[in-house]
Amino acid sequence: MKVNSPNILKLMWRNLKVNTDPGTLLFLVGLPAMYLIFFGYGFQSFAQTGANPKEVLKFMAPGIAAFQAVIAGQVAGGMLWSDKRWGMLAQMLVGPFTRLEYLMGIMLTSIVLGLAGAGIMFGVAYLLIGPTSITVVGIVLILSAALVGALLFGSLTLILSAFIKSSTAYNSVTILVLFVVNFASTVFYPFSSALPLPLQYLFIINPLTYVANTVRDGYLTTYGVGDVTNLTLLLVGTVILLFVAIWAYKRSDISFV
């Protein structure tokens, strides 16, 4: 199927404009920023006396930056669901856009929002913590993890939006996924063998754990071979989910009756 690059960019620009209203920006940027401020300072009360309070923020900042991949993924699925719900997808496909171009526009939007959101979170971290030493390798790791993570979670929510027709069901499922993925990961706290076994399994199978670990290692310059493994696992998972998302998207209705 022929792909028109300008059409993809037009769709991406349309998606970005739709998702930069004050309410959506509050969800995309404000919520994670409040996580960093309130949780970052609140968790310091658990630190031992004399501990450097900035260490908690240094741990949480890259984790919350990684969480932007999930937020961006939510936007991808939400765009498809809304466009089907209100008949916009059917209208666009009557015009010059193809199904593939529409899908690529959504995925590109997810990547842009994921990278931009991570950048903003690191900007907030700079205001709270100050400058940190970061290398070129660290930057590459952060960008790679954020990009792949946005694609992975975007594919996951596209699968959900391809089949769920009820507004209540879609909102309930996505909120549940958001909650579990966010808190059963290393975004806010490190993995520990002291966790109950079911939680340990959730941490291990949760892709956000690997995104957060890689972003954190790149930010703190503590990277190693394990980060290559993390990115490899994320890439494999992304390819699988992306193929499933494309399959589900092609076979789903273009509008809800």
Whole-prediction pTM value? 0.85
Report the pLDDT value the prediction gives residue 230, as an integer from 0 to 100. 96
Report the pLDDT value the prediction gives residue 23, as an integer from 0 to 100. 65
Question: Angle 136-163/207-220 helices, nearest 10 degrees?
Answer: 160
Indicate the pLDDT class of residue 155, thresholds 50, 70 and 90: very high
Report the pLDDT value the prediction gives residue 232, as an integer from 0 to 100. 96
Averaged pLDDT, 16-41: 70
Report the pLDDT value the prediction gives residue 55, as an integer from 0 to 100. 77
Averaged pLDDT, 2-16: 78
User: How far, in Å, CA of 29 to CA of 94, rounded?
Assistant: 34
Report the pLDDT value the prediction gives residue 204, as an integer from 0 to 100. 94
Indicate the pLDDT class of residue 88, thresholds 50, 70 and 90: confident
Report the pLDDT value the prediction gives residue 81, as an integer from 0 to 100. 83
The one-character DSSP state at 130 is: -
Model confidence pLDDT, tens digit, residues 40-66: 666 665 555 455 667 778 888 899 999
Q: How much of the chain, in percent, has pLDDT values that exceed 90?
A: 33
Taking 60 as the threshold, does the pLDDT of residue 164 lie above it? Answer: yes
Report the pLDDT value the prediction gives residue 41, as an integer from 0 to 100. 65
Confirm if 124 and 35 have CB atoms less than 8 A apart. no
Q: What values do phi and psi take at 81, rounded to 5?
A: -60, -45
User: How far, in Å, CA of 72 to CA of 113, rounded?
Assistant: 6
Indicate the pLDDT class of residue 96, thresholds 50, 70 and 90: confident
Compute the mean pLDDT over every residue in the chain, rounded to the nearest whole number. Answer: 84
Taking 60 as the threshold, does the pLDDT of residue 117 lie above it? Answer: yes
Task: Return all residues near 252 (Cβ < 8 A) that are at least 6 apart.
Answer: 84, 162, 163
Indicate the pLDDT class of residue 3, thresholds 50, 70 and 90: low
Averaged pLDDT, 182-201: 88
